[in-house]
Amino acid sequence: MIERLKKLLQENPSVSDWKLNIEKKESSELFYVGKKLETNRAADVISYTLTVYTDKGEERGLSAFTVYPYMTDAELSEKIQENVFAASFAMNPYYDLPSGKDAVLPESRSNLREMTLKDAAEIVSDAVFAADRYDGGLLSATEIFLDRYDQRILNSRGVDLQAVTWLGSVELIPSWEKDGEEVEIYHMLKFESIDASEITAKVDEQLKIAAARFEAKPLGEVIDLATPVRVILQDEETKEVLSYFAEALTYEAKYHQQNLYEIGDPVQGDEVKGTVLNATMVPYCKGAFQSSFFDADGVILKETPIIKDGVAVSLFGSYRFGRYLGETEPSGLLPILKVMPGTKPFSEMAKAPYLRCAVFSGIQVQAFSGYFGGEVRLGFYFDGEKEIPVTGFSISGDMKQSRSTMIYSSDETVLGAYQGPKYLEICDMKLL
């Protein structure tokens, strides 16, 4: 297919440049209702997406389309011409494409290389259900996915990069039941390598969280919601809140005049009373399954510091918008946000009353308004002596106020696209 496409693209004089993205996905999947298997699935699918570029003077148009394995040369040729024609009406300022460079990219070290996806799914299944051992607790539904991705990117400027990656995912619905009452939580566990005992431990932790939700009281019955309380966010919610700063520093936001900050701006305001932010976008972090050494344009990714000592020092993002802004070597779309942890351990944070928000329905962080918050499905109120599980409340805050006073923990965590502080302490959130 690739050689056929290259030949046909070369034969079309209106094609100024091209890019081909290929993704082959193989998967093995198990779907459970309780401990009983409902469905097993396997997939072996491939997709080719071709982008053609056509130039007119100082302008460049582009059109992307799917190429199917069933297409004949005549059909492919017609499709290329049709999209060159469409591209000629979608003109933009000219930008070049990344050029091919010699690069030795590390190979995945996933232990999934050493087994079939079907065998891996069975190992994960055993590890998951090893944790399902409580009288009141159960996994009411479980979905297990083991995927292998073969990705390849080629372009007319010599880029030819490929990578094989593995991803395991388990969608868990841990539940807790007693005397006819039931509660559940949702958790998606993802990993690039299988560690059966770690999977069992993580499932066990989620079952215990379900148990805590069962015991949880409405927060309004525990404290007066009007009384100020320190809120502690953790893990995914910490990442979501800190991503506010990174998302404001992309080439695309700047190009579209929607950037919140300029280079040199103090992103946390003029006077920082909390932790001073240092953030870097990186291609790879062990355990962060969204790691990638190149992006969809074929840019080989390298570490890019974006915030130093609270000051914006660099933008990052897609090659196209970087070129529009005059960058000679745009960073590419770096996947992982790495934030330097603070100096205060959680054990220090825990010396006075706090409200730790453990399970959200989905935290909102809105770049333009600065609003952040959401409905908390499980929290823990620490009254100075013990943590009390609480539920039935929402929190809301304003990033423009809270950004200068947030305290980052020295405890670290690694998530799919994040490495940095695990906990975030915020003093000025409203409770409802």
Partner 1 sequence: MISTYLQSRHDCCKELVERLGKRYVYVSVLGKHVTGKCIRLSTMATSVADTAEKQCGFVVRVNDGSHYSEYSFSDITKETIPEIEENIVRELTLSARLSAQHVDAEILKDEPLVKDFERPSGGAPMTVQEILSTLSVMKDRVHAVSEKIIQARFIVNDYETSSIFISKNRDLSQHYSWCSLYCFAVARDGDVIRNTIASVGENGVRLALKVLDGKLVETAKLAVELLSAGLIEPGVYDIITAPSITGLIAHEAFGHGVEMDMFVKHRARARHYVGKPVASPLVNMHDGAACHVPSSLSTITEEEANQDNSSTTMPCIGYFFDDDGVLSHDTQIIKDGILVSGISDAVSASELHTEPTGNGRRQDPSRKAYTRMTNTYFAPGKDKLEDMIASVKYGYMLFDTDNGMEDPKNWNIQCVACYGREIRDGKFTGKIVTPVIMSGYVPDLLMSISMVSDEWHITGCGHCGKGYKEWVPVSDGGPYLKARCKLG
Closest to partner 1 by CB, 47 vs 343, is 47
Closest to partner 1 by CB, 267 vs 282, is 267
Q: What is the closest distance, in whole angstroms, from the C-beta atom of residue 70 to partner 1 in the complex?
A: 5
Q: What is the closest distance, in whole angstroms, from the C-beta atom of residue 46 to partner 1 in the complex?
A: 5
Interatomic CA distance for residues 327 and 321, integer angstroms: 9
- Written as six digits, the tokens of 323 are 């070129």
Q: What is the closest distance, in whole angstroms, from the C-beta atom of residue 293 to partner 1 in the complex?
A: 25
Closest to partner 1 by CB, 39 vs 99, is 39
CB 361 within 8 A of CB 335: no
Does residue 338 sit in helix, strand or coil?
Answer: strand
Closest to partner 1 by CB, 26 vs 387, is 26
Shortest CA distance to 309 belongs to which of 265, 349, 250, 343? 265
Interatomic CA distance for residues 137 and 174, integer angstroms: 7
102-105 contact pairs (CB < 8 A, 24+)? 103/161, 103/300, 105/161, 105/163, 105/293, 105/294, 105/300
Closest to partner 1 by CB, 63 vs 250, is 63
What residues contact residue 309 under an 8 Å CB cut-off, 6+ apart?
276, 278
Q: What is the closest distance, in whole angstroms, from the C-beta atom of residue 370 to partner 1 in the complex?
A: 8
Closest to partner 1 by CB, 360 vs 382, is 360
Q: What is the closest distance, in whole angstroms, from the C-beta atom of residue 344 to partner 1 in the complex?
A: 28
- DSSP string of 23-38? EEEEEEEEEEETTEEE
What residues contact residue 120 under an 8 Å CB cut-off, 6+ apart?
28, 112, 146, 168, 194
What are φ and ψ of residue 373, in 5° steps?
155, -165
Closest to partner 1 by CB, 87 vs 154, is 87
CB 67 within 8 A of CB 123: no
Interatomic CA distance for residues 95 and 324, integer angstroms: 7
CA distances from 345 to 72, 77, 350, 408 (A): 62, 62, 9, 9
Pairing assessment for the beta strands 187-191 and 311-312 based on DSSP bridges: unpaired
Closest to partner 1 by CB, 188 vs 352, is 188
Q: What is the closest distance, in whole angstroms, from the C-beta atom of residue 68 to partner 1 in the complex?
A: 6
Q: What is the closest distance, in whole angstroms, from the C-beta atom of residue 57 to partner 1 in the complex?
A: 16
Q: What is the closest distance, in whole angstroms, from the C-beta atom of residue 130 to partner 1 in the complex?
A: 14
